[in-house]
Amino acid sequence: MTSSSSTPPPQDHPAETADPWWRRRRLVGAAGLSLVAVVVGTSVLVTRDPDGGAPPTTAVPGASVGGDWMSGASGPGVVEGDFAEWRGSPVEIAGTWSDNTEAMTELWQLQPGAEYADWQKPMDLAIGAIGEGETWAEAAAGAYDARWTATLEEAREVWAGREGQLYLRFAHESNGNWYPWAVDASEKDDFIAAWRHFRELQQAVMPEAELVFCLNRESVETGFDWRESFPGAEYVDVLGVDYYNHYPYVDTAEEWQESLLATDRYGAPKGLQGYADFAASVGLPLAVPEWSGVADQGDSPVFVESMNDYFAQHGGTGPGQVLYEILFDVDNEDYDGNFLLYGATKMPESAAAYQRRWAG
């Protein structure tokens, strides 16, 4: 989703037909890695095949790993501290969007006098990728280097001297059909090439930033398994998934458990554990840069409590562990309060559950 443009909020949808409100997403596998997977109960032990040339590693993403995670929010009250006071604990990371071809080079909300001018903690910044009428093939060939370089140079300038880590969420939710940078089966190779090219620019201009490969929990009209568009672990610092409570809507503990290992119509992970398993298999931590309940679907404290349980059980910096999560608490005329927990919420039970679980 985005708070800086008029794009409707992308969502999962039970059918692949595009609807202006509820849409879908998806992902693809680890390029160039030979993997061996062994199923042990509900856990998956994933190791890289030594014959593939990668150093062998082992992860048990389905097991309780413990550890901490950075917890954050986006929306009103984050900078002022009102949101932290409401939930009873500090906001450790913020999320914001500069996700169109103009906003990405200006980064207005980070400029002097703007909303995040003095923000010193970590930040997840969604910067889009390409615009209407532009293509991933052109991007791979360097057609948008000037804009991408300007974006990175501006990020380096406005973030200079700040204490927190900057996470750049480039081409977020590319496995949907609602952004100009959407990727379908015919474009996945060009997308990988373009992503790797952007990585080269990022490493040259702002190597201190971390690059987040972030998907929507389910793909829409892509025609392929999202893992096939993964550019390779050496080109990514964090795997991310935006995760909202719908399709399937979770209202009970049993439904939560069923959702964790769900897959989409292409066979790709769409459950949270499936994303964690994939992140572990490629040696990356997991982030959930956007998540919330969905009032149009219902008011489910179980979903909120289960997300908290998952973060607490799987938080950490290692492969497959949850590095950070950010509650999407943004509203505008299109959203009509559909995702809000803080303030004028339509999900009072979920809001109360959030306050209970996130209180320090």
Choice among 92, 173, 187, 221 that is catalytic: 173
Q: Are 63 and 318 in contact (CB under 8 A)?
A: no
Place of tokens 């554990």: 273
For the question of residue 258 being annotated catalytic, the response is no
Place of tokens 């280097």: 145
Count Cβ atoms within 10 A of the Cβ of residue 59 and give its class: 0-12 exposed, 13-18 middle, 19 or more buried.
Answer: buried
Choice among 92, 154, 187, 290 that is catalytic: 290
Sign of CA dihedral 56, 67, 93, 240: positive
Distance from C-alpha of 67 to C-alpha of 316, rounded to nearest angstrom: 5
Beta strands in 217-359 (DSSP E): 227-230, 238-244, 286-292, 322-328
Distance from C-alpha of 291 to C-alpha of 298, rounded to nearest angstrom: 15
Distance from C-alpha of 144 to C-alpha of 153, rounded to nearest angstrom: 14
Using only the alpha carbons of the chain, give its radius of gyration. 19
The residue among 261, 184, 180, 248 whose CA lies nearest residue 219 is 184
Q: Are 1 and 328 in contact (CB under 8 A)?
A: yes
- The amino acid occupying position 342 is Y
Peptide bond into 248 cis (omega under 30): yes
For the question of residue 290 being annotated catalytic, the response is yes
Beta strands in the chain (DSSP E): 28-30, 35-40, 43-48, 70-74, 93-97, 123-128, 166-170, 210-216, 227-230, 238-244, 286-292, 322-328
Q: Are 171 and 195 in contact (CB under 8 A)?
A: yes
Count Cβ atoms within 10 A of the Cβ of residue 53 and give its class: 0-12 exposed, 13-18 middle, 19 or more buried.
Answer: exposed
Positions marked active-site: 173, 290
